[in-house]
Amino acid sequence: MLIDMRDAFFEELVAQAKLNPNIVILSADHGAYALEEFARNNPMQYINIGIAEQNMVGVAAGLAISGKIVFIYGITPFVSLRVLEQLTIDVAMMQLPVNVISVGAGFTYSTDGLTHHGLQDMPAISSISGLTILNSSDPQNTKSFIRRAIATKLPHYIRIEKEKLAPFPSKRLTDFDSKFGYSILLNNDQDLLVISTGYLVNLIYNTVVSSPEELTQDFALIDLYQFNPIPLELIEEIDKYKKIIIFEESVEFISSQLLKLMPVSNRKVKTFSVRISVEIAFKGADRSKMLDQNGLSPKGIIQQINAFI
């Protein structure tokens, strides 16, 4: 069953906020159905700051200092690039329980213009020490992010999808498991490993399930959903493989993060990264067309895997 990722996220967040009056939600004039219902019923726990994202981060920091657990919500480029200084100084340096809810990853809002592309947020946010990035790929881990953020009372940058996605049928690690940060969704081969994050993980998984006959080789699939830091246990996991393909709906990020932990000079591994081309990143089209142009459509993914022998 397909579930709207925003609904999954806000249903859990609203449920937690009803249990804990110290949870406060701020919005930069951007809504969701469950959030709007919560705002009507719990006006003391919700503030629409308006289109003033830098101010929203400052208000969130002030509320956090006063004992609140704060979630701030907006479109990806406007709650990352636009507020980078505020997140660094007001939130991360002070390790306040402020959680950025970023919707619109990759080309989600590409039809709204080039200003709405969410391609640079994770590289930018990863430059801020102490601000953990969580990137949702299905309704299950989307909900777990909220529980983890509330329990840890540490700052997070949480990416949620606008798409309707199906939960993965395989067992997912919970928000309190020791290996939180990644999930092994397919374990079909000990030679080739595919690593991805967010929407593309769901796309790759469903492409494989629906068209296994089009693949010339099996592969293992890992959903890497935590960055800054990447879970160290992942390095032991990927050491099993001789070849690694990385798919990401972003400018170069995952590959550069992994290479910090596993220098190529120390490994006999063949690595290939399929990511958004800078040359065509800022052109206008809908998400599926933009992914296709970058070799990240279902057809393109199958071709890349088959070619990587």
Return the structure tokens found at 295.
Answer: 């070799």
Q: Is there a single domain that holds both residue 273 and residue 240?
A: yes
Residue 256: predicted pLDDT: 81
Q: What's the domain range around 201?
A: 182-307
Return the structure tokens found at 207.
Answer: 């492409």
Q: pLDDT tens, 53-87?
A: 999 999 999 999 999 999 999 999 999 999 999 99
Q: Is there a single domain that holds both residue 147 and residue 202?
A: no
Q: Is there a single domain that holds both residue 7 and residue 36?
A: yes
Q: Is there a single domain that holds both residue 264 and residue 132?
A: no
Q: Is there a single domain that holds both residue 265 and residue 139?
A: no
Other Cβ atoms less than 10 A from the Cβ of 19: the count is 9
229: preceding bond cis by omega (within 30 degrees): yes
**Residue 215 is which amino acid?**
L
Question: Which one of 131, 165, 199 terminates a domain?
Answer: 165
Residue 265: predicted pLDDT: 43
In a domain, 175, yes or no: no
In a domain, 176, yes or no: no
Q: How many whole angstroms separate alpha carbon 159 and alpha carbon 137? A: 9
The CATH number assigned to the domain holding 244 equals 3.40.50.920
pTM summary value: 0.91
Q: Is there a single domain that holds both residue 144 and residue 191?
A: no
Residue 149: predicted pLDDT: 95
Q: Which residues pair with 103 in a beta bridge?
A: 75, 160
Q: How many whole angstroms separate alpha carbon 240 and alpha carbon 219? A: 12
Q: Is there a single domain that holds both residue 291 and residue 219?
A: yes
Q: Is there a single domain that holds both residue 29 and residue 149?
A: yes
Q: How many whole angstroms separate alpha carbon 13 and alpha carbon 33? A: 13
Q: Which residues pair with 165 in a beta bridge?
A: 3
Residue 57: closest CA among 72, 68, 69, 39: 72
Question: Which one of 165, 198, 231 terminates a domain?
Answer: 165
In a domain, 172, yes or no: no
Yes or no: say if 161 and 181 are a contact pair by the CB < 8 Å rule: no
Pairing of strands 98-103, 156-160: parallel
Residue 276: predicted pLDDT: 65
In a domain, 173, yes or no: no
In a domain, 177, yes or no: no
Question: Which one of 134, 165, 196 terminates a domain?
Answer: 165
Distance from the first to the final alpha carbon of the chain: 34
Q: Is there a single domain that holds both residue 70 and residue 186?
A: no
Residue 262: closest CA among 285, 238, 287: 238
Q: Is there a single domain that holds both residue 15 and residue 145?
A: yes
Average confidence (pLDDT) per 10 residues, the chain, 309 residues: 86 91 92 78 90 96 98 94 97 98 80 75 94 93 92 96 82 71 84 92 88 86 93 84 88 80 59 68 73 86 85
Residue 210: predicted pLDDT: 82
Q: Is there a single domain that holds both residue 65 and residue 138?
A: yes
Residue 264: predicted pLDDT: 47
The CATH number assigned to the domain holding 94 equals 3.40.50.970
In a domain, 206, yes or no: yes
What's the 3-state SS for the chain?
CCEEHHHHHHHHHHHHHHHCCCEEEEECCCCCHHHHHHHHHCHHHEEECCCCHHHHHHHHHHHHHCCCEEEEEEEHHHHCCCCHHHHHHHHHCCCCCEEEEEECCECCCHHHCHHHCECCHHHHHCCCCCCEEEECCCHHHHHHHHHHHHHHCCCEEEEECCCEECCCCCCCCCCCCCCCCEEEEEECCCCEEEEECCHHHHHHHHHHHHCHHHCCCCCEEEEECEECCCCCHHHHHHCCCCEEEEECCCCCCHHHHHHHHCCHHHCCCEEEEECCCCCCCCCCCCHHHHHHHCCCCHHHHHHHHHHCC
In a domain, 126, yes or no: yes
* Domains in the chain, number: 2
Residue 57: predicted pLDDT: 98
In a domain, 171, yes or no: no
Q: Is there a single domain that holds both residue 212 and residue 113?
A: no
